[in-house]
Amino acid sequence: MFYFCTGSRESLYKMEQVKKKRNKILLLIIGILLLAFIAAGIYLYNTVFQPFSLVETTYIHIDREKNYEEVIRQLKEKAGLPSEKIFRLLAERMNYPTMVKTGRYAIEDGMTMPDVIRRLRSGNQAPVNLTFNNMRTRENLAGRISQQLMVDSLSLLNVLDDPTNAEKFGFDEYTFIAMFIPNTYEVYWDMSIDNLLNRMKREYDLFWNEGRKEKAGKIGLMPVQVSTLASIVEEEATYTDEYPIVAGLYLNRLNRGMRLEADPTVKFAVGDFALRRILFRHLEVESPYNTYKNSGLPPGPIRIPSIQAIEAILSPQQHRYLFMCAKDDLSGRHNFATTHAEHARNAAAYQRALNTRGIY
């Protein structure tokens, strides 16, 4: 015969209910934590891979200081960095702070923070289209290049002024500037001065191909002499359609053994390109560039000539002009003459125009 204890059964029942309740609470807590973990993961994923939203590609520049904080500042200001905190965490994980590289980097619409870090860390730069034209002096050239590249203008100018550097590339202190052919060149923003000079020499050699050298030889000039004469033509003629005419005129004078008597060379010798009126005292200045006192070409270009001016020398207009004078309408165009008497009349008319307008 068996006997059951009613109190014991009730206790077991209560204990079972408590246990079920605890399990439910535990499962609820686990569910909440799991949901929180999933939500945090989704948020983190969305933040990490949130694309940069840009209307157009922007660029950041990292100079030789390789300042990591400056990189972050540029990303915030120029590209709207989605999260500085997450970016720093990612950068640390990807070892970027110790691998900052100089250069110009493109930040494009749709890129994520990992994409940006990988691009910066690898040094995958966006090239720069280096351009320079209408450059008169080495100072102008150095300043223009420094505006486009990570190059200090004074350092570049010191290199350009050093005759030993010119000799390395086959030029001298007067002709070194002729090595720079005005054009558009795809280069990297952080290229060194040495690499820049080597690139310019390669481009110079490519420009002076056999065809152009042959044309230069036919007019009795070396390539650097063509550049020198082209620089005078470009300073003399305001309008490009006059380049071939002026080129032919100066070549006529050279072939006859006449001095060039080019006003731009006097301005260069005096150091004042703004001169509107060349006076006798200007013509007497002692300088190898003064073509009123010296025969032949000056020792080097008086500016960096454009390709168009160089081509005008290589393909000059055939005519018999020996003299030129600015027109009396002060339009910047010229009257051309074959005789000194005709030239004297043109010059007198121009002088009267200057007097009338009070230009001295």
pLDDT tens per residue, range 164-189: 999 999 999 999 999 999 999 999 99
Q: Which neighbouring-strand residues pair with 58?
A: 107
Q: What is the pLDDT of residue 18?
A: 65
Identify the CATH number of the domain defined by range 58-122: 3.30.1490
Domain limits of the chain?
A: 58-122, 128-207, 238-319
55 pLDDT more than 90: yes
Tokens of 11: 């206790």
Q: How confident is the model at residue 195 (pLDDT cuts 50, 70, 90)?
A: very high
Query: What rounded mean pLDDT belongs to the chain?
Result: 90
In SS3 terms, 313-360 reads as: HHCCCCCCCCEEEECCCCCCCEEEECCHHHHHHHHHHHHHHHHHCCCC
Higher pLDDT, 342 or 28: 342
- Tell me how far apart the alpha carbons of residues 317 and 246 are, in angstroms, rounded to a whole number: 8
pLDDT level of residue 2 (50, 70, 90 thresholds): very low
State yes or no: pLDDT of 79 exceeds 70: yes
Percent helix / strand / coil, the chain, rounded to 5: 55, 5, 40
- Tokens matching residue 2: 């068996």
Rounded to two decimals, what is the model's pTM?
Answer: 0.84
Cα separations (Å) of 28 from 32, 37, 63, 282, 315? 6, 14, 55, 98, 90
pLDDT at 331 over 60: yes
Token pair belonging to 283 = 């013509």
Q: What is the pLDDT of residues 207-255, one digit of tens each?
A: 999 999 999 999 999 999 999 999 999 999 999 999 999 999 999 999 9
Neighbours of 209 (CB within 10 A): 9
Nearest-CA neighbor of 181 among 302, 307, 300, 311? 307
pLDDT band at 198 (very low <50, low <70, confident <90, very high): very high
| Closest by Cα among 252, 240, 256, 260 to 321 | 252
Q: Which residues is 185 bridged to in the sheet?
A: 130
In the chain, the amino acid numbered 96 is: Y
* Angle, helix 84-93 to helix 113-122, in steps of 10 degrees: 50
